Amino acid sequence: MILLILKRRKQGSSPFFRNFTCKEIERATGDFSTIIGRGSFGTVYKAQFPDGLVAAVREVRTSCEVQKDTFDRKVQFLGRLHHRHLVPLRGFSAERDRFLIMEYMENGNLKELLHDPLRTPLNWKARLQVAIDVASALDYLQSFCKPPVCNISIKSSKILLDENFVAKLSPFGFLESNGSKMTMAHLQGKNQSSYPQESVVFQYGLLLLELITGQSIKFEGINLIQEYRFIDSMLTMVDPDLGINFDPKELKILLVIARMCIDTEGTLTVSMPCILRYLQGKFDPLSPCGSLTDISINSYVRKSSVLEEKLRSSSESSLEG
């Protein structure tokens, strides 16, 4: 199966995709000394190859037979994804140990840019562009992939930015999402239509809140929503690092979209294609015909126990990464 992928790649538009030897990876990572991250699937290393390729090498642990049997499927699955806002696969290694070689993202992940006090805060324009970039990637995964990829973990730590601050969703945001059962089900080609798109939309709403407030939703999701339940001015929600350097109308639009995403009563339904069009300015979510002109915080935040349960589940599933 991997040989077939390589043959297709040679005929296609991605000449950098290839099979790396373990020796090549050892040299490129300084004998695995360049650690840049850790995850449930293994350690991530920065690699510099002789041909000039700078990559992130992701170890794929094979502690169980299920993971060994599905490595080829992972490579096949990732190898056929092509989108500007997905981190592309550059190659793999399947010798003694298994590795996936991904494009290296110069500016790290969104979590660090939003929450690390030593990093320069993202300005409003950059945050809005991240929202658009991620929505574009999610629209591709849900609307254009066959079968659709709906079980996705949308955490700020899984959103990476390149040297131009273009946001790209790490494939491990959906390879690792919701545990190994769902991951393996997708890699084995099972129908994923039973997994609701709404869960992705809900997570995207939380991401918008994180971009707006600069607060980590991972641990503070429930408190964050409750904290702003009775706030009359949406301006109070804005990350203090932004000061007054943001567009009020754009803020309104993001808040309205976030409200639609986390709606639990079914009165507001929204899909990723619709969200993307809102963000791209192809449709105005503030228009009266959409019945969404009321953007007060009291109506924006729901008090239902269902919302709190969703937030709690989201926080618990995001404890890693």
Give the model's confidence band at 14: pLDDT under 50 very low, under 70 low, under 90 confident, else very high: very low
**Lowest mean pLDDT across 85-99, 232-246, 257-271, 281-295:** 281-295
pLDDT in tens, 199-208: 888 889 989 9
Nearest to 9 by CA among 92, 69, 103, 94: 92
Question: What residues pair up with 161 in beta bridges, in sequence order?
Answer: 167
pLDDT, average across residues 241-253: 91
Q: Give the separation between CA 4 and CA 18, rounded to whole angstroms.
A: 12
Residues in the chain: 321
Question: What residues pair up with 55 in beta bridges, in sequence order?
Answer: 47, 103
Domains of the chain: 2-103 (3.30.200.20), 110-317 (1.10.510.10)
CA angle 69–70–72, rounded 5-degree value: 100
Q: What ranges make up the beta strands (E) of the chain? A: 18-19, 35-39, 42-48, 54-59, 89-94, 98-103, 159-161, 167-169
Q: What is the predicted pLDDT for the residue at 261? A: 85
Percent of the chain with pLDDT strictly greater than 70: 64
pLDDT in tens, 96-126: 888 999 999 999 999 999 999 999 999 999 9
CA angle 244–250–251, rounded 5-degree value: 60
pTM of the model as a whole: 0.76
CB atoms within 10 A of CB 132: 18
Count of helix runs (H) and strand runs (E) in the chain: 13, 8
DSSP 235: G
Q: Calculate the average pLDDT of the chain.
A: 75
pLDDT over threshold 70, residue 187: no
